[in-house]
Structure formats: C-alpha cells, structure tokens
Amino acid sequence: MTVTVQRATPKQAARLTQIAHTAKSYWGYPSHWIELWRNQLTITPDFVQNNEVYAAIDADGVVLGFYALGGAGETRTLEHLWVQPSSFGAGVGRLLFEHAMARARELGAHAVEIESDPHAEGFQAVSLTLPGPPDGLAHGDTVLAFVGVDPAGPFLLRDVLVEPLAPPAAS
C-alpha cells in the first residue's frame, strides 16, 4: 500500500473528524463517553487552516489517518494522531508519528508532549522504541507518565497516558 503524508486541507475536516470518532469508538468506550469527547474529537475547517495538520493519504486519495501539532517554540504538543481502524497494523500510525516528529524538528522543537489513550500504549512503545510499558503512576488523576528519547536524535518526548475515569457508581 502506497501512503503519503500531505498537509491536510479544510475540506478534509469532516473526514478527519470521522476518523477521530471511529478510532476512539473502536476501543469499546460507551457511547455516552464518546459524546462527552465530541468537541475534542471534532476537527473544524478553521482548526485545519490554522494548525499543523497532516493527513496520510493512500494511492486512491482516501485519508487513512492524520495528526496535528500544537504549541510553539521549543515545545510542541501532538494534539491528535488518529488512524482509521481498518488501517491498524499497516504502518500508517508509524508513518504519521515519524512525520510529526520530523515536522516538529523543522519548527524548532526540542520536546514534544503527547497525551494519549491507554489503548495506544503498544503503538507508542514501538514508536518510541521503549522497552515495555511506561513507569511512574501518579495517583489522583490516574495518569501514567514517562519520558523517552527519540532514536533519531536529541529530541525529548514526554508522554502522558490518561486513562478515562469510570462514571460514578449508581446509588
């Protein structure tokens, strides 16, 4: 499969939103949680126009996934990195991640902060070439955090794995 990474266009915002919602839903989260995350998972044309948003596109012109970089200066944030579930395991996520790190370097970043879904741990362990799961459980917010070094150079990656909190028990 031939896949290229290209700057996303505002016209692709609906497709990017569809991918974000579909990928998040794939992991079996309850529909009311997905609804709570609607705004975070919705990519608007203005967001695409005004941010570093790139899409993975196959030879037929189909958008398979995307990422968005935020922040400024020496610290950037990987705001989004989503791949349509039918493309899981095909290297699309790795391609997007590597492109995002290269783009962050081009923008002058020395660190990239990543907030990720717990289900992405396997992908990140591979992407960051870190042995095993992250260390350092911080109690209270159920946050797992680790810092890794990008093998391509002196580039700090800070990953914060945020586990969704279970809804309160019915009384």
Q: Domain segments of the chain: what residues?
A: 3-162
Cα–Cα separations (whole angstroms), residue 152 to 6, 20, 94: 21, 28, 14
Q: Any idea which fold 3-162 has?
A: Aminopeptidase (3.40.630)
**Least confident residue range of 52-66, 113-127, 147-161:** 147-161
Q: What is the mean pLDDT of residues 164-169?
A: 41
Question: Rounded to whole angstroms, how far apart are CA atoms 145 and 63?
Answer: 31
Q: Which two tokens stand for residue 32?
A: 């009311």
User: How high is the pLDDT of residue 69?
Assistant: 94
User: How high is the pLDDT of residue 59?
Assistant: 95
Cβ(43)–Cβ(16) below 8 Å? yes
Give alpha helix (H) positions in the chain: 13-26, 31-36, 38-41, 45-50, 92-106, 121-127
Whether the model clears a pTM of 0.85, i.e. scores above it, the answer is: no
Mean pLDDT of the chain: 75
Cβ(48)–Cβ(58) below 8 Å? no
**Least confident residue range of 12-21, 60-69, 126-135, 160-169:** 126-135
User: How high is the pLDDT of residue 48?
Assistant: 98
Question: Rounded to whole angstroms, how far apart are CA atoms 49 and 9?
Answer: 7
Cα–Cα separations (whole angstroms), residue 31 to 26, 92, 129, 160: 11, 26, 33, 24
For residue 40, which of 63, 56, 7, 16 has the smallest C-alpha distance? 16
User: How high is the pLDDT of residue 21?
Assistant: 92
User: How high is the pLDDT of residue 119?
Assistant: 60
Confidence of residue 152 (pLDDT cuts 50, 70, 90): very low
pLDDT digits (tens, 9 = 90+) for 69-121: 998 887 888 899 999 999 988 889 889 988 988 898 888 887 777 766 666 55
Question: Rounded to whole angstroms, how far apart are CA atoms 65 and 107?
Answer: 22
